[in-house]
């Protein structure tokens, strides 16, 4: 099953909503610091409702800590970015992919994008709209990966 990774998330309710999505799908959620909020933030907890006991949450204080953790587990880094090389729907996801999402304000850094096996985008029909909300993007990407892998049943 794919994993969701948030690198430097800034908005607590977005992360709480993503945690709820991960709880509903039994997907591991990895938060990579620094975070723009405390892990005890009430808005984070509120957005996740009472689903926190079902969240497989991992916190990594830095990108380096996450890289060390990832190297022990393996799998591809798939970066979601407005500058992604292909659409997420045409990309063939694999079971041990790590779906990486950057902060709401800056996205993934060039350093992280370069380290990804592939970068994908969620196409926007309106040229005036740069991106979707982070929690929506995670849900769209995760559910497409799960659909391709036959994990929606």
Fold (CATH) for 3-148: Alpha/beta knot (3.40.1280)
Q: Give the chain's length.
A: 153
Both tokens of 136, joined, read: 């929506």
pLDDT tier at 10, thresholds 50, 70, 90 = very high
What confidence score (pLDDT) does residue 69 get? 97
Look at residue 48 and tell me whether its pLDDT is greater than 70: no
Q: What is the pLDDT of residues 107-144, one digit of tens each?
A: 999 999 999 999 999 999 998 888 899 999 999 999 99
Is 102 annotated as a binding-site member?
A: yes
Is 109 annotated as a binding-site member?
A: no
Is 141 annotated as a binding-site member?
A: no
Look at residue 149 and tell me whether its pLDDT is greater than 90: yes
Distances (CA, A) of 24 to 9, 43, 55: 20, 19, 8
Q: Are 63 and 110 in contact (CB under 8 A)?
A: no
Q: What is the CA radius of gyration of the chain?
A: 14
What confidence score (pLDDT) does residue 14 get? 93
State the pTM of this model: 0.95
Domain ranges of the chain: 3-148
Query: What's the angle, vertex CA 120, arms to CA 98 and CA 82, rounded to 5?
Result: 120
With CA atoms as reference, report the closest residue to 44 among 72, 12, 19: 12
Q: Are 97 and 2 in contact (CB under 8 A)?
A: yes
Q: What is the pLDDT of residues 49-95, one digit of tens each?
A: 678 889 999 999 999 999 999 999 999 999 999 999 999 999 999 99
């Amino acid at each position: 099953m794919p994993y969701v990774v948030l690198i430097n998330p800034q908005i607590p309710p977005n992360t709480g909503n993503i945690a709820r999505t991960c709880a509903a799908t039994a997907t591991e959620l990895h938060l990579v610091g620094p975070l723009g909020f405390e892990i005890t933030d009430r808005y984070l907890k509120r957005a996740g409702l009472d689903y926190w006991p079902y969240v497989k949450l991992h916190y990594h204080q830095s990108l380096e800590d996450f890289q060390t953790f990832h190297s022990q587990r393996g799998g591809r880094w798939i970066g979601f970015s407005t500058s992604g090389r292909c659409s997420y729907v045409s990309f063939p996801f694999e079971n041990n992919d790590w779906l990486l999402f950057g902060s709401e304000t800056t996205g993934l850094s060039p350093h992280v994008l370069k380290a990804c096996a592939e970068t994908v985008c969620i196409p926007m029909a309106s040229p005036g709209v740069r991106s979707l909300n982070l929690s929506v993007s995670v849900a769209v990407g995760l559910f497409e990966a799960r659909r391709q892998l036959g994990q929606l049943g």
